[in-house]
């Protein structure tokens, strides 16, 4: 299974309601999410589904990706909320039966999930910057391979090159 993991883009420091799950992306974060989505689509990954934390900032990052990849709107997945055990998220991915999935969520969960998928232990966190993507090939129950770790600047450049065709994964 190809697992693409995307950390949400820059979000507000707080929501008017004070609830963390309602924090939205900043205008810069929204622009970066759209640019990263174009870059991801330029890679031509065979992603089947977009899964996202139900928190607003993750969904706002995931929606442009789903549109750019011409997929259905992101499916909110509670096991991608902050504070969740990465083993629960990995179990949900294994149950899904997808060949390729984009997971949009939060740090440190995503970094711990990368560590779990690659090293078999979520304590070996691979930190992800905001709007950065990691790609892991993973066989549920086995060790995975970290295939790529792309900062948002690279994705933005890939998405802004008219007529160019970057390598597909």
Tens-digit pLDDT profile for residues 11-65:
999 888 988 899 999 999 999 999 999 999 999 889 999 999 999 999 999 999 9
User: Contact at 8 Å (CB) between 135 and 2?
Assistant: yes
Q: Binning pLDDT at 50, 70 and 90, where does residue 163 land? A: low
Locate tokens 């997971």: which residue?
A: 103
**Lowest mean per-residue pLDDT among 16-20, 69-73, 110-114, 142-146:** 16-20
The residues with which 25 forms a beta bridge, in sequence order, are: 11
CB contact at 8 A, 51 and 35:
no
Q: Residue 81 pLDDT more than 90? A: yes
* CA distance linking residue 161 with residue 140, whole number of Å: 36
- How much is the pLDDT for 164? 43
The average pLDDT across 106-126 equals 93
- Count Cβ atoms below 10 Å from residue 85 Cβ, excluding itself: 14
Q: At what angle do helices 27-42 and 152-159 cross, to 10 degrees?
A: 60
CATH of domain 2-9+24-159: 3.40.50.1240
Residue 142's pLDDT band (cuts 50, 70, 90): confident
How do the domains of the chain map onto residue ranges?
2-9+24-159
pTM to 2 decimal places: 0.93
Average pLDDT over the chain reads 92
């Amino acid at each position: 299974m190809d697992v693409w993991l995307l950390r949400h883009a820059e979000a507000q420091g707080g929501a008017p309601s004070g609830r963390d799950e309602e924090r939205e992306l900043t205008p810069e974060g929204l622009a970066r999410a759209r640019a990263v989505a174009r870059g991801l689509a330029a890679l031509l990954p065979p992603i089947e589904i977009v899964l996202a934390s139900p928190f607003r900032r993750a969904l706002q990052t995931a929606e442009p990706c789903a549109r750019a990849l011409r997929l259905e709107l992101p499916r909110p997945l509670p096991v991608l909320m902050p504070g969740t055990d990465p083993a629960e998220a990995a179990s949900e991915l294994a149950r899904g039966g997808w060949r390729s999935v984009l997971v949009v969520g939060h740090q440190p969960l995503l970094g711990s999930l990368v560590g779990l998928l690659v090293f078999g232990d979520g304590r070996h966190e691979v930190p992800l910057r905001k709007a950065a993507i990691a790609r892991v090939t993973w066989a549920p129950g086995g060790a995975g391979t970290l295939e790529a770790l792309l900062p948002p600047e690279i994705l933005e450049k890939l998405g802004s090159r008219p007529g160019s065709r970057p390598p597909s994964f």
